[in-house]
Every structure is written in C-alpha cells, then in structure tokens.
Amino acid sequence: MKLGYQTNTWGGVVGHPGGVTSVKDAYYKANGSTEEALRDIASAGYQGVELFDGNVMEYEDKPEELKNLLKSLNLQLVGVYTGANFIYPDILEDEFAKIEKVARFSASLGAEHLVYGGGAVPARALTDEDFRRLADALKRGDEVAKKYNLTASYHPHLGTCVETPEQLDKIMSMTQIALCPDTAHIEAGGGDPVAVIQKYVDRIQYVHFKDWGNGTFQPLGEGHQDFKAMLAALQAANYDGWITIELDSYSNPLKGAEISKQYLKEQLGLG
C-alpha cells in the first residue's frame, strides 16, 4: 500500500468566497501555502498528496509550476477532493460545471482519484427524494470521473446528509460508486469504521485514515481507532491502493504528519 497525506492541515479548511454568490465557484480550500504543505509532506516521508479542488484550481493557469513542484519533491498527486449540494436541481448544472473542470484539470496533472463529499443538509427534514437526487448526482459524478480516467469515490462526512451508519447504508444501496471511508468521520457520525470497511471492502478503491478521540480529530495513534483491524480487513481483500492520512487542524502541521507517519511505520508496518 502507498501512503499519502492531505494538505488540509496547513491553514485549515475554508470555502472559496466566490461560491457564496456563484455556485460554479464553490470550491473547498486549505487556507495555507500549498507549496509549504507539499514540502512538509515530502519531508515527513509520504509518497503522495491529496488536494482540495480549490487548491488545485489555483494552478489552472500555471500547471507546469505544480507539476514541477511535485516532481522535485518526488510526490504524486493521488487525488482531489470536491463536493456539492447535489440535491437542489436549480443549481446542479453549475455544480457539475465546476466538477467537470476540476476532473479535467486534475487528470491532466496525473491524479488517480476524484473524491466526492456532499449532499446538503437542508433546513427542512431530509426526505427520500433528497437521497434519490444525491444518488443520481453521484452516478453522474462517477461518469464524469471515468470520462477522464479517474476513480470516483463517495466520502461520508459530517455536515452532509450522509453522516450516520443508516444514511451511509441508504446511499450505498442506491448507488454503485466506490466508497472512500474516512475513518474518523464514520465514527463521529455514530458508526464503526472497522465494520464499515469490512462491509463495503469490495467497493473501496481509496481510503482516508484519520484518528478520533475526545471528540476531536487526532494524529494517528493519539486517538482510539483500531487501525490494525482496519488494515487487516483491507489486506484480507487484497487492497493495495493508496491510504491517505488526514488531520483537519494541528498546531504544527509538519509535526502532525510526522506523528502519523511514525505510527504507520512502527505500529502498522507501512512505509
């Protein structure tokens, strides 16, 4: 298995302000220096990196700059994370205009994975129609990814309409898209990440490891998640893809990456 790291620890997660009034510009962003993040991730010993769509699109007019930086650091762009509301028909075309642009550009940079988060949490109660619309949108998102030779995965996430185990089972039963389990978000939503991986291992093409303890996200080994059991479930299914480590915030981003890397090596025998 190959190990990557998300850049979201550097500066924290924000949204592009243009997305407030123009849905086509509603990107995720890590609010720090992408170059600093990549250099730290490489120095910590990771092989790959995942970026938010907004951080990738910062290089839309200067792709060679990002390609050369990745090459100089011996890093691969593993995946790009994007998302949308998905359940509102009136804005869906603008959301997919953004997604198509992101997919095309990410593929040109050598990315392998396109990760989807989303499904809005409306002010009213969620309905079966919301899940049907999300399922239809994820089918379309899968097709967009395949068009550019990317592997699409759905990522359950707090703050979306797929937080709980029941919601995850519902959307998985309505779709064929691959699952990207984010182990901490699954637990924070009331689920068991080991059980989720075991249940859906045949649909897992990409994995996010993130620890969880005391109600917060933690570097690997500093929470209480059973990564050994998760890894055993993946290995039993002959999974040999990427595992990307995430940590939404940490006072010293490089140190957080190093703590997780040491855990991966010493406790899991990876890297």
Distance in angstroms (rounded) separating the CA atoms of residues 106 and 85? 21
Q: How far is CA 191 from CA 82, 164, 225, in A?
A: 23, 6, 12
Number of compact structural domains in the chain: 1
pLDDT in tens, the chain (271 residues): 899 999 999 998 888 888 889 999 999 999 999 999 999 999 999 999 999 999 999 999 999 999 999 999 999 999 999 999 999 999 999 999 999 999 999 999 999 999 999 999 999 999 999 999 999 999 999 999 999 999 999 999 999 999 999 999 999 999 999 999 999 999 999 999 999 999 999 999 999 999 999 999 999 999 999 999 999 999 999 999 999 999 999 999 999 999 999 999 999 999 8
The confidence score (pLDDT) of residue 19 equals 87
The confidence score (pLDDT) of residue 104 equals 98
Distance in angstroms (rounded) separating the CA atoms of residues 218 and 224? 9
- Whether the Cβ atoms of residue 243 and residue 270 lie closer than 8 Å to each other: yes
- Whether the Cβ atoms of residue 77 and residue 51 lie closer than 8 Å to each other: yes
The confidence score (pLDDT) of residue 20 equals 86
Distance in angstroms (rounded) separating the CA atoms of residues 161 and 9? 24
Residue of 148, 92, 79, 152 lying closest to 119 (CA atoms): 92
The structure's pTM equals 0.95
The confidence score (pLDDT) of residue 17 equals 87
Distance in angstroms (rounded) separating the CA atoms of residues 224 and 40? 26
Q: How far is CA 108 from CA 20, 68, 102, 146, 265, in A?
A: 28, 13, 10, 14, 32
User: What is the domain extent for residue 221?
Assistant: 2-268
One-letter amino acid of 221? G
State the CB neighbour count (10 A cutoff) for residue 212: 19
The confidence score (pLDDT) of residue 177 equals 98
- Whether the Cβ atoms of residue 127 and residue 119 lie closer than 8 Å to each other: no
The single residue listed with the structure tokens 């123009």 is 22
- Whether the Cβ atoms of residue 197 and residue 241 lie closer than 8 Å to each other: no
CATH code: domain of residue 230: 3.20.20.150
Distance in angstroms (rounded) separating the CA atoms of residues 152 and 73? 26
